[in-house]
Each structure stands twice: as structure tokens, then as C-alpha cells.
Amino acid sequence: MLGHLVGVLFDGVAYGSLLFVISIGLSVTMGLMNFVNLAHGAFAMLGGYACAVLMTRAGVPFLATLPLAFAAAAAAGIVLERTLYQRLYRATHLEQVMFSIGLVFMAVAGATWAFGPSQAAVRLPGFLRGQVHVAGLDFGAYRVFLIGVVVVVTIALHLMLVRTRFGAQVRASVDNAVAAAGLGIDVNRVFAVTFALGSGLAGLGGALGIDVLGLDPTFPLKYMVYFLLVVAIGGAGTIKGGLVAAMVLGIADVAGKYYLPQAGAFIIYVLMVALMILFPAGLYGRRT
Amino acid sequence: MNRPITTARRSILRRFAAGVLLGLLPLTALAADPLRIGLILPLTGPFASTGKQIEAAVRLYSAKNGDTVAGRKVQLIVKDDTGVAPETTKRIAQELVVQDKVNVLAGFGLTPLALAAAPVATEAKIPMVVMAAATSIIPSKSPMIVRSGFTLPQITGPIADWAAKNRIKRVVTMVTDYGPGIDAEKTFIARFKAGGGEVVESIRTPLRNPDYAPFLQRAKDAKPDALFVFVPSGEGLAVMKQFDDRGLKQAGIRLIGTGDVTDDDLLENMGAAAVGVITSFHYSAAHDSPENKAYVDAFTRANNGMRPNFHSVGGYDGMNLIYEAVKKTGGTANGEALVEAMKGLKWVSPRGPMAIDPASRDVVQTVYLREVKIVNGKPWNVEFDKVENVRDPGN
Amino acid sequence: MTSAPAPDAPRLPGARWSAPEIAFWLLAVAAFFAFPAYRVLGSQILITGLFAVTLDLILGYAGIVSLGHAAFFGAGAYAAGLLTVHGWGEPVSGLVAAGAAGAIVGYATSFLVVRGADLARLMVTLGIGLLLYEAANKAAFVTGGVDGLSGVSMWKLFGVFPFDLAGNTAYLYSLAVLFVLFALARRIVNSPFGLSLRGIRENGRRMPAIGSPVARRLIAIYTISAAMAGVAGGLLAQTTQFVGLDVLSFPRSADLMIVLVLGGTGRLYGGLVGAAVFMIAHHLLSDLNPVYWQFWLGLLLVVVVMFARGGILGGVDALRRRSRGASR
């Protein structure tokens, strides 16, 4: 019984880790630029397809595709930020929603055109398949790997924000963009780089997620709700909030399905409504 | 590709106006009254791969058999209903009937879409060939409906019988929590119990389900001899991967199911993970017959290497059904006469011998038992046994 | 939420209908005769338009962002559908039942929605919508689940007009219902009650200071909007004679939001214009290219946002202002 519990917690954390990597960029763009970017999933899909295409058509090994998936999504992010997104920072949230949904429609049709409507797949290297046996318990090797990646990403993000000059600029811009600009911080550049970073992380998450979430052209629509959940529950603009929210969601989802499969999808939605009513600004959101 | 949108706002409005007006021009006198087939498919959205397979098969059929039948030119009108909104499917059916004056409606990717359109066929007295939607009740909803695909209970029965006869005693079932899934679950449990087996647990997974791992873990912890799975087309890949990853195979649990799980469209992507999975189904791209060899060959060549799957034969045989019926009626397109002509038709399809039951207008066909094996470096559903003349048990 | 660009100035509740308004409605009647082949599409545009107007009531006027409006639409659709399945196929009373169902669900959930900021409201409405969807799927013995509720057969409207294949009855019936509810909505937003809603949208904290009970007002408009959305759902169920589970789905709520923003929020007509443009564009594009039409529809949305702030009607206003400025 206890073994089951450990297994469920482990799976939940792994699932949450994946949600965190994909969603954290959305949380940052909402917190930093106050931009509701529903097209965030499209960047994740781009990273996923980059990984799948590199592996199946160019024979690049899985691990080597991960930085490339990050780079592809980040590059797309910076281009779109400079050409389109930055013109809409002052638009209403509703217009941002319509704009980003428009982008999603274009991405879905584009992906169908380029890759066909079926599920894409990647073949993981042998050492990431199967299970690892520790103390009589089985852990999925790939899930151990996912958790490892998230630990590395989180530490890197944290160090970047706390230790580097750029990190200080980001924090200053989040707190007060106008005052930050007044202090001589190039806020536009901060926005662009941050947007690219967020998109890149989504791309990395998309590539990592192929094996767990699947990958087809409707990806950005299918998981939009989950990404929004992480941001809304965690509170926009905080890494800690996003991390906690992703873990809560991951564990609740897995535990619900394992222990109460007949309750189906209810658990996660009830949890979401309850949390949003109790913490309207998110668990770690700043109350305004 | 057309470029109906330019960047200037005024131009958009003008083009909309132009488009609306163009749509109004009456479709006058197109040479000696062609036979019009309105094909309604999900070509976008979550079920786009179904539509793609069917459209490709239908086009292949026309290419192979010519676009004239019994002296009438065949005109295909393909429409996308996005696969999710019944009111859109019904509207398109109404427009095809009222405006395009089609002689046959065909396609229909999912049950609710077919059910919504059924009254249109009844009222207009136009045959409606259901190529993909697979719940039992569909043909009973209109006397004009004929099915060329399959029904879920029809293809679920044989795997239950096989399991009961092959030393599988305890089974966990896992199906998607919606109409077809529940159909599969009911049929499997009834037949498997009748064969002396025991179903230890029945898991239903939500429709929108990002992660199968916890359900599979639960199935694993119940320690059955086999896990019976039904998931909608396209989801099989995720199930198969997690099944492999969780080590259910190593724990001595076999994976059995309906052929949707080892969908030919995705089987290559599943790779070695799928080897050994036993399913029952009406079509395998590896079916050993000259008709199927020619079909798979032509299909893959015409579609950039895509393997035909079970939805494709639904489309291909649906076209055959229409062509044969028109031949039989000598070219009249009277709807009731066409349906009458379709009843009792028999032919050899790429999937094997099949027929239309005159009473229920439903498909009667051979259901095969298959095992996934690697042949020439690629996984295929290799048939090893068959049950002939299977009807929908609901009828 | 930053407010939408200045909508029309408020009028008196009984304000006369302006010439462009009258022209708009005449156009809707004219479309019936001008496009006989598109009456079914027309009726669905009118229904979506009505649905969008109901969202405008809470979003454009009271500032409540919702991604779960399909909950009320679906409740209405199932109410109207179930009524006929169980033997009562009279259309107008069916719509009353649909409105009541929408109102009940709306009132019951309004308490969860009136508090909280944009993102929280967005997620709460979304969550309620998803829960209802799952509940309707689980309750397949009542709703038919994913297979849908078939066997919806309507009696003739007023005992005279059958719901025909060409959509004649559907179009005129939908238009009549839309007009009645629109006139009601127009009266509401121009009333003192409607003004107080705009005040809440602009600054909810100051409204109590001038004696306006914020929560009560929001609950009232939310319930009214839900009731009208229920009627829209009922209309769809009756004219389609089928209810699919997707009446409750998230994409329906999301598309609705797009329709309204495309047309322009806070001006009632925005929802109608948005529904017409969105659905006609969808129809034409998917006829031209059944597989990749989404790309062009997406491009349309992006282009409208880039060049017309405040949606299409916002863009029209800006053009009018510019031309007036030039002539001055």
C-alpha cells in the first residue's frame, strides 16, 4: 500500500515537472509583460516537432535534439515577439486572446500541412526506457529523467534571476516596468529575451513531453487549459508559484486517476475551481 | 492554395462580399446531370487523421475505377465538419441536399455526427453511407443509412472469445469513457464471462486524458492475465508506450484489444513496443490477399508512404457500395432504389469478403485475430485466425 | 482588465432606434430573401450572434471575463432537447424552459464568479464549464453522452410552420427570437441598472460609495445573461433537432469569446457582426480549402487585431472618426 503511494507521488511529481517546464514561460510573459499568450502551446508544439523531425529524418540522438528544440522555439519566439507581440503589449487582454488564438489556428493548420494530422512519435534511447528498481519499487526511467531535467532547469532559472545582471533587470521590470526604464534598463530587450527564454522552455517541454502527452497538430488547443491552470493557480510571474502549482496539479491528477478512476476528470476541475476561489490571485500571486 | 485574405481591411470586406455573391450563382447546367456524392468528413480538429484516410481512399477508388459509372459522371463534393459539432454536420448535409442537389451523402466520422445528419437523409430520401462511425444504433436511425465501415460490438466479440479459449482467466478492461468505449466494454465483459473468464476490474478513462500512466499502474497492481483496451483512433500510441514503459509485459500481463489500439496508421511509430499485442479487427494492412496487396501498394504510393488503416477501407468500400448500386439500378439516382440495390450486395474488399445485411443495412464481414509481429523490419498486424460472417450482435 | 475602447455613449432605455440600427435589422430580413440557399447557415449565425450578445452583457458591460459561457448554452440546449424527447415538442414553451435552465445554472454559479479578478474568473468559469461537460458525459442515461441526444422532434411552430430542410422556419424563428431578446438587452444596458454595471466595470471599488450594491448587480446581470444564453442553446437544439455534448464544450466558449472580441465588445451589435463575419469566413474558407482553412481564419483574426483595435466595429468607428476629422 505504501509502495503504491510512493509510486503515485513519484508519477505525479514527474507529470508536474513536465507541466512546469512547458508552462513556466507563460507564467513569466503574463507576469512580466501582462500579456495573455494563449499561443504558448504552439511554441511547445514547435519544439516537439523539431525533436521528432530531427530524430526521424536526420537521425539526431534524442538528447542532442533537446537543446535544438529549445533553440528552435526560442528563435521563433524572438522573431514573433519583435514583429507582432510587442505591438500588442498595450492592447486589451481580450485582443491579446484573440490574437494569440489566431496564431494557434495558424500553427495548427501549418503543422497539419507540414507533418500530417496523425500522432508523431519518437523512439527514446534504451537507457530512458523501462524501469529502474530501487528498494523494491519500480520507477519509470524516463520519469526519473524528467524530474532530473526540471531540477536542473529550476536551479538554472533561479541562479539566473538571483545572480546575474540580466536577472536583476528582469526582476526590476516585473516589479515596475516604467521605473525600470527610467533607471536606464532597456525594458524592450528584457522583454524580448525573456519571451524567447519562455518560448524556448516551452519548446524543450514539448520535446520532453512527446512520450507522455503525445504530439499532434491540435496540441496547443488540447493542453491550453492545463497551461493556464498552472499559471492561474501558481500566480503569474513567479517561478516558485508555477513550480508548486504544477506539482499540486500533477500529483492530484495522478492520484485521482489511480485511487478514484471512476471520478475521472472531476477531481482536477474541482480542485481548480476551489483553489481559484480560495486564492483568486494564485498561491503565490501578488495581491493588487 | 488560394489566398482569400489580403492585409487591407477594406479589401477583406470587399472579398467577403464577392465571395458571398459568387456562392450565390446558381449551379446551372453542368453537363448531362452528374451523380453527385457529398462527402462529409472531419478534415480538421482532433479526428483529422480519420478524414484524411477516408478522403485518400475515396480518391484512390475514383482514380482506379474511373469517374463514370453506368454512364453517369461522378462528382465528389468534399466538406470538412471539424469532427466535433453535430449542428455543423447537419447543416452541411442540409446544404448539400438543398443547394448542391447531391444524390448520395457519405462519410461521417463519429456517432453523434451521423445521428444528427440521419433525419436529413430520411426526409430527403437520399442514401447515407456511413464510413467510419461505429456504434450499433446508427443504421436504425434512418431507413436510408447503409454502413460500410464496422461496428464496435462486431469486432469486439472475437477477441473476448479468443481470450477465454487461450488460458486467459483474469482480465482488467480499460476503455475510454464514452459511447463506443462503453459498447466495447459491455460486449467484451458479456462474451468473456460467457466463455468462463473473470473481469477483475473495469477502468474507464476520461475522454480528455493527457496521461494513461496511473490507469495502467492500477491495472498492473490488479495482476491480471491480460489487459483489454479500447481507445479512440489515435490514442493507441500513448497507451502502448506507457504499457511498455510500466513493465506490464514483464509482469506477465498481455495486452489484448480491438484493432484501434494497433491502428495501422500509427503502428510503425509504436515500433517494438507493440510486438505481441493480440487484437481482433476487420482490417489489417497486412491482410494476405491480392486485392489488399494492390490496395496497400496503390494507397502508399499515392499518399507519400502513409499506410492505409481501417478507416480507409470504410471509405473505399463505401465508394464501391455506391458504384455497384448505381450499376445495379442502371444509372437512376432515385435514393430509395439505390438503398434497395445496396441491400444484400456482396463483394471482396481489400479487407476480405463482406456484405450488406438486407434487413439491418449494416455491414457483415470477416473479423480476424491478429498479432503484432515484425516483418521485414516493420511491425504489422499479422492475421492468424478468423471468424467469418460476423454481424453486429446488437442487430 | 483594461477597458474596451469607448463604446457608444449610453442612451435612454426607451431611446429611439437609430437609422444604422434599423438598416442592420432590415439587412437581416433581406438576407433571408437574398441568400435562399444559406438559410440554415443564416439561422446558426443568428443563434451564435444571440449567444455572443449574452456574453457581451457580462463581459462588455459588467467586465466579467468568462471562458465557460457554454455551460448555460448547453443547459438550455439540453432542457429544450429533453423536453421534446419526453413528448413535449412545442417550440416557444421549449425556449422558456431553456431560458429557465440557463438562469438556474447561472444563478447557482454566479456566487462563485462575482468575486475575484480576471484570471480567477476566467479559470472558475472555465472549471464550471468543464465540470458540467464531464457531468453530462457521465449522465449518459439522460443526455445520451458523447453520442448525443437524438430523437428530438419538434412540433410545428405555432402549429403551422414545420422545421424544414431548407431552414426557412429556422431562420425566421431565430431572427424573431434574437430581435426580441436583443431589444430586451438593449433596454437593460441603457437603463440605470446598465449604467451601474459600466460603473462596476470601470471601478468596482468605488461603486458601493455611491450606493450601488456591486455583488447583487453582478449576480443579477450574470443570471440574466445565463438565461438568454440558455434560450440561444434551446434555439440551436430546436432548429438542429439534435443535442451533442459539444454544446457544453470548452471550444464553444472559446470560439464565442473570439466572435465577440472580433466584432467588438461593449456595443451589443459587436456580437452579431462578429458572429456573421466569423461564421461566413469559416464557411467560405473551409469550402475553398477543407483541410487548411484554419490557417486563413487565424490570419484573419491576427490581421483584425493588428489593424482594428476594438474589433471590427471599433475599426469602423476609428475610420468614421478619421474621415470626420479629415472633412473638418
CA B17, CA C31: separation in Å to the nearest integer?
13
CB-defined contacts A:B, below 8 A: 104
**How does DSSP classify residue C149?**
B
Q: Please check the confidence at residue A230 and state whether its pLDDT lies above 50.
A: yes
Supply the pLDDT for residue B26. 40
Supply the pLDDT for residue C208. 74
Residue C168: how many CB atoms within 10 A of its CB? Answer: 17
pLDDT tier for residue C10 given thresholds of 50, 70 and 90:
low
Mean pLDDT of chain A: 87
All residues of chain B having their beta carbon less than 8 Å from the beta carbon of residue A119 are 49, 234, 237-238, 266, 269
A95-131: buried (b, 16+ CB within 10 Å) or exposed (e) per residue? bbbbbbbbbbbbbbbbbbeebbbbbbbbbbeeebbbb
Supply the pLDDT for residue C118. 76
Over residues A57-109, the pLDDT tens digits come to: 888 899 999 999 999 999 999 999 999 988 888 888 888 989 999 999 999 99
CA C127, CA A269: separation in Å to the nearest integer?
5
In contact, B135 and B183? CB cutoff 8 Å: yes
Distance from CA of C303 to the nearest CA of A (A): 8
- Strand ranges (E), B274-356: 278-281, 346-349, 352-356
Contacts of B145 by beta carbon, 8 Å cutoff, 6+ apart: B114, B118, B121, B128, B130, B138, B139, B361
C43-81: buried (b, 16+ CB within 10 Å) or exposed (e) per residue? bbbbbbbbbbbbbbbbbbbbbbbbbbbbbbbbbbbbbbb
CA C308, CA B114: separation in Å to the nearest integer?
40
- Contact state of B9 with C244 under an 8 Å Cβ cutoff: no
CA B223 to chain centre: 33
Interface chains of chain A (3 or more CB pairs under 8 Å): B, C
Contacts of C223 by beta carbon, 8 Å cutoff, 6+ apart: C103, C106, C107, C110
All residues of chain B having their beta carbon less than 8 Å from the beta carbon of residue A142 are 245
Over residues A179-224, the pLDDT tens digits come to: 888 888 888 888 899 899 999 999 999 999 888 888 999 999 888 8
Burial zone of B334 (CB within 10 Å; 0-12 exposed, 13-18 middle, 19+ buried) = middle
CA B5, CA B350: separation in Å to the nearest integer?
43
Length of chain C: 328
Supply the pLDDT for residue B174. 93
Supply the pLDDT for residue C143. 85
Closest residue by Cα to residue A195 from A17, A24, A16, A66:
A24
Supply the pLDDT for residue C9. 54
The backbone torsions φ and ψ at residue B370, rounded to the nearest 5 degrees and listed phi first, read: -135, 155
Q: Which of C66, C132, C253, C261 is most worth mutating to test chain A (most A CB atoms within 10 A of its CB)?
A: C261
Cell 504558448 sits at which residue? A40
pLDDT tier for residue C11 given thresholds of 50, 70 and 90:
low
B-chain residue closest to C311, CA distance: B9
In contact, B321 and B345? CB cutoff 8 Å: yes
Supply the pLDDT for residue B46. 85
Mean pLDDT for the stretch of residues C290-310: 89
Cell 461564421 sits at which residue? C279
Chain C, 109 to 148: residues with Cβ < 8 Å from chain B are 134, 137-138, 140, 145-148
All residues of chain C having their beta carbon less than 8 Å from the beta carbon of residue A236 are 119
More confident of the two residues B259 and A2:
B259
Closest residue by Cα to residue B139 from B385, B313, B348, B391:
B391
Domains of chain B and any CATH numbers = 27-150+293-361 (3.40.50.2300), 153-281+367-390 (3.40.50.2300)
- Contact state of B52 with A109 under an 8 Å Cβ cutoff: no
Residue B74, strand partner residues: B35
Mean pLDDT of chain B: 86
More confident of the two residues B357 and A136:
B357
- Contact state of C242 with B111 under an 8 Å Cβ cutoff: no
Over residues B163-178, the pLDDT tens digits come to: 999 989 999 999 988 8
In contact, C256 and C51? CB cutoff 8 Å: yes
Distance from CA of B206 to the nearest CA of C (A): 8
Distance from CA of C149 to the nearest CA of A (A): 22
- Tell whether C257 is within 8 A of chain A (Cβ): yes
Supply the pLDDT for residue A288. 43
CA C277, CA C262: separation in Å to the nearest integer?
8
H or E segment at A166?
Answer: helix A165-175
Helix, strand or coil, per DSSP, at residue B173: strand
Dmax (CA) for chain B in angstroms is 72
Q: Please check the confidence at residue B293 and state whether its pLDDT lies above 90.
A: yes
Mean pLDDT for the stretch of residues B371-384: 91
In contact, A88 and A230? CB cutoff 8 Å: no
CA A192 to chain centre: 18
Q: What angle in degrees, to the nearest 10, is found between the helix axes of C91-113 and C118-138?
A: 130
Over residues B187-244, the pLDDT tens digits come to: 999 999 998 889 999 998 887 776 888 888 889 889 999 999 998 877 888 888 888 8
Percentage of chain C modeled with pLDDT above 90: 38
Supply the pLDDT for residue C6. 44
In contact, A84 and C302? CB cutoff 8 Å: yes
pLDDT tier for residue B334 given thresholds of 50, 70 and 90:
confident
In contact, B286 and B382? CB cutoff 8 Å: yes
- Tell whether A270 is within 8 A of chain C (Cβ): yes
Closest residue by Cα to residue A122 from A64, A41, A190, A36:
A64
Q: State the complex-level ipTM.
A: 0.87
Pick from B52, B91, B178: CB nearest C146: B178
Supply the pLDDT for residue A104. 94
Supply the pLDDT for residue B23. 44
Mean pLDDT for the stretch of residues B351-379: 92
CA A102, CA C303: separation in Å to the nearest integer?
9
- How many angstroms separate the first and last alpha carbons of chain A? 45
- Contact state of B91 with C40 under an 8 Å Cβ cutoff: yes
CA distances, C71 to each of A222, B88, C68, C247 (Å): 19, 19, 6, 8
Interface chains of chain B (3 or more CB pairs under 8 Å): A, C
CA C234, CA C73: separation in Å to the nearest integer?
7
Over residues B82-100, the pLDDT tens digits come to: 888 899 999 999 999 988 8
Over residues B237-280, the pLDDT tens digits come to: 888 888 888 888 888 899 999 998 999 888 888 888 888 999 99
Strand pairing class (B68-69; A137-140): unpaired
Distance from CA of B131 to the nearest CA of A (A): 19
B-chain residue closest to C40, CA distance: B91
